[in-house]
Amino acid sequence: MALTILIDFTGFGLIIPLQPFWAQHLGANAQEIGFLVMIYALAQFIFTPLLGSLSDRYGRKPIIVVSLLVEAVSLVLTALATSLPLLLLARLIGGLGASNIGSAQAVVSDVTMPNERAKGMGLIGAAIGLGFVIGPALGGLLSPLGATVPFWLASGIALLNTILVLLFLPETRQQHQAAAHPKGLSALVSGWENLRHTPALLALIIVNLLYTIAFTAMETTFPLFTQHAFGWGASQNGYIFTYVGILVVIMQGGLVARLVKRWGEKSVLLIGLVLMAVGLSTLAFSTQLIWIFVTLGLLSIGDGAVTPTVSTLLSFTGSAETQGKTLGLAQGIGSLGRIIGPYLAGSVYLLGGPTTPLLGGSILVALGAVQALPALSRMRKIE
């Protein structure tokens, strides 16, 4: 599962530095480039909860295999796009293919004991972070060979990953457990209905949404911020995002599991949210390179703590039979944050200047921590 998610986010990481230039080559303006980001996240918002529910019914493995094939197709279409509408279609299909993270997290939930689940979720998070390390760096190395070369390579790796999943991933979902689940949209609707009756689930969903908005807002406007403050271009920002990815990998690849054993999931989650809020607010006033590294370090460590602990706590808000639906719903709403974040960030950047999206993101993360406190305090201790 870590390999599957690594491939997904390596492809996504490849696109972060390259997509704007490929879109410009096809005639896109700044607003249309933003729309490319939005449509990818919109597809994830729609399909992640649905794929999670389908994995509860039909098994994790077939859903993950199909999503990987879809992702490979989207990367081929991206490379072959000769117009902006075709590129938009490719990104829409790519968002569908990348909607398997809820199913992947459900595999972790299926095969881990409760007291080891944060470690498993941390490995998934580390794969995400590693994808953000490898993707931009690989894209930068390959782009001189041709603008579409990185997309072709990513597609080939996705196909190879499909074969590996078919050969080596056992099915972790017991068929008899999922037999009574509703199908399709009914399952998706029932997931939304659960929000009204499970305060902890609702609180964690809101945390997931708010910190995702804040982080994607930072990702979107940080290059503009550094261009304004330091005159940086794409290369310098690519190195900085690699630094962020390395810290997230270190955090989620092993450190978060040790912190959870010492302090518990709820405490680590709240500490991570505080670090994110502090990192975002102080980043807004960083005018020297050393402070950029320090504040982004706080932000990255906070993100590395929040992502796996949110997923772990979410897995305890429902029954074992609904893991895919619960985690898929959470990831789908997280995709809503990736829809809102870039456009909201761009708007407040124009209205208030370079520091406004960072300060606004800090406030959102702090609000998420405050609203989650009552529900988290009532959650049972994880044994």
pLDDT 10s digits, 212-254: 999 988 887 887 788 888 888 666 777 787 888 888 888 877 7
Region of residue 146 (phi > 0: left; psi between -120 and 50: alpha; otherwise: beta): left
pLDDT at 275: 96
Whether residue 181 is predicted with pLDDT greater than 60 in this model: the reply is no
What is the distance, to the nearest Å, from the Cα of residue 336 to the centroid of all Cα atoms in its chain?
11
CA distance readout (Å), 191 to 48, 151, 261, 273, 334: 12, 35, 30, 26, 15
Which has more confidence, 351 or 32?
Answer: 351
Whether residue 47 is predicted with pLDDT greater than 60 in this model: the reply is yes
Can you give the pTM of this predicted structure?
Answer: 0.69
pLDDT at 383: 43
pLDDT at 94: 87
pLDDT at 370: 92
pLDDT by residue (tens digit) across 136-178?
Answer: 777 767 767 777 887 888 888 888 888 988 888 888 776 544 4
The listed CATH number (3.40.630.10, 3.40.50.300, 3.40.50.620, 1.20.1250.20) that belongs to domain 2-378:
1.20.1250.20
Which has more confidence, 134 or 163?
Answer: 163
pLDDT by residue (tens digit) across 336-371?
Answer: 888 888 778 877 887 888 899 899 999 999 999 998
Question: pLDDT band for position 374 (50/70/90)?
Answer: confident
Please give the Cα distance from 199 to 263 (Å, whole number).
23
